[in-house]
Chains A and B, each alone.
Chain A
Amino acid sequence: MQVLIMQVQKCSRLYTVEYNIHKIVTHDDIVRLKGTFLQQTFDVKVPIGDRKIAIPMDATLKAYFDFGGFSTSNVQKTGKTINIILPDPKVVLTSSKIDQNNIKEYVALMRSHFSDAEMANYEQQGRASIIQSIPQLDIVDKARENATRILVPMLKNLGYDEHDIKISFRKDFNPNDLKGLIDNSTIRDEQKD
Chain B
Amino acid sequence: MIIQQYAMNRKIKSLLKTLYNNKKLTLIIIAVILIVIIIINVISCSRKNAIRIGADDRIDITPEQIRSVEAIGQWEFLSVSDEEFVDTVRKGFFSDDKLARIYVGTLRLGVDMQRVQKDWLKVDADTLVAILPKIQLLDKRFMDEARTRSFFESGSWSAVDREALYQRAYRLMMERCMTVENIKSAEENARIQFTALFHSMGYSSLRITFSNQ
A-to-B contact residues, CB < 8 Å: 1-39, 46, 57-60, 62, 64, 67-68, 70-72, 74-75, 77, 82, 93-98, 100-101, 103, 113, 115-127, 129-130, 133, 137, 142, 146, 149-150, 154, 157-159, 185, 189, 193
Is the beta-carbon distance between A24 and B49 smaller than 8 angstroms?
no
- CA gap between A22 and B75 in the complex, in Å: 25
Is the beta-carbon distance between B55 and A58 smaller than 8 angstroms?
no
22 contacts between A and B (CB under 8 A): A1-B86, A5-B81, A7-B80, A7-B82, A8-B185, A9-B81, A12-B189, A14-B74, A19-B66, A21-B66, A25-B62, A35-B52, A39-B45, A39-B48, A60-B141, A93-B144, A95-B142, A100-B163, A103-B159, A120-B150, A125-B58, A158-B123
Is the beta-carbon distance between A37 and B75 smaller than 8 angstroms?
no
In the complex, how many angstroms separate the beta carbon of A161 from the nearest chain B beta carbon? 14
Known contacts A6-B81, A11-B77, A12-B197; 11 additional CB pairs below 8 A are A3-B176, A7-B81, A11-B78, A16-B71, A20-B69, A62-B72, A77-B202, A94-B139, A117-B150, A123-B146, A125-B59
Interface range on chain B (Cβ under 8 Å from partner): 35 or more
List A contacts of B147 (CB < 8 A): 96, 124, 127, 189, 193
List A contacts of B110 (CB < 8 A): 13
- CA gap between A57 and B62 in the complex, in Å: 12
In the complex, how many angstroms separate the beta carbon of A115 from the nearest chain B beta carbon? 6
- CA gap between A146 and B149 in the complex, in Å: 36
List B contacts of A17 (CB < 8 A): 69-72
A12-B76 CB under 8 A given contacts A46-B53, A130-B64? yes
In the complex, how many angstroms separate the beta carbon of A124 from the nearest chain B beta carbon? 6
Is the beta-carbon distance between A29 and B55 smaller than 8 angstroms?
yes
Is the beta-carbon distance between A94 and B73 smaller than 8 angstroms?
no
Is the beta-carbon distance between A27 and B60 smaller than 8 angstroms?
yes
In the complex, how many angstroms separate the beta carbon of B181 from the nearest chain A beta carbon? 9
In the complex, how many angstroms separate the beta carbon of B175 from the nearest chain A beta carbon? 10
List B contacts of A18 (CB < 8 A): 68-70, 72
Is the beta-carbon distance between B146 and A94 smaller than 8 angstroms?
no
B11-66 contacts to A, CB under 8 A, are: 42, 45-46, 48-66
The residue of chain B having its C-beta at the shortest distance from the C-beta of A159 within the complex is: B123
List B contacts of A117 (CB < 8 A): 150, 153
Is the beta-carbon distance between B189 and A116 smaller than 8 angstroms?
no
Is the beta-carbon distance between A3 and B60 smaller than 8 angstroms?
no
List B contacts of A137 (CB < 8 A): 66
| Across the A-B interface, the 4 shortest Cβ-Cβ residue pairs | A35-B51, A127-B146, A12-B193, A96-B146
Is the beta-carbon distance between A116 and B99 smaller than 8 angstroms?
yes
Is the beta-carbon distance between A58 and B67 smaller than 8 angstroms?
yes
- CA gap between A3 and B104 in the complex, in Å: 10
Is the beta-carbon distance between A67 and B197 smaller than 8 angstroms?
yes
B204 within 8 A of partner (CB) = no
Q: Which of A36, A100, A116 contacts B150 (CB 8 A)?
A: A116
B158-205 contacts to A, CB under 8 A, are: 159-160, 162-163, 166, 168, 172, 176-177, 182, 185, 189, 193, 196-197, 200-203
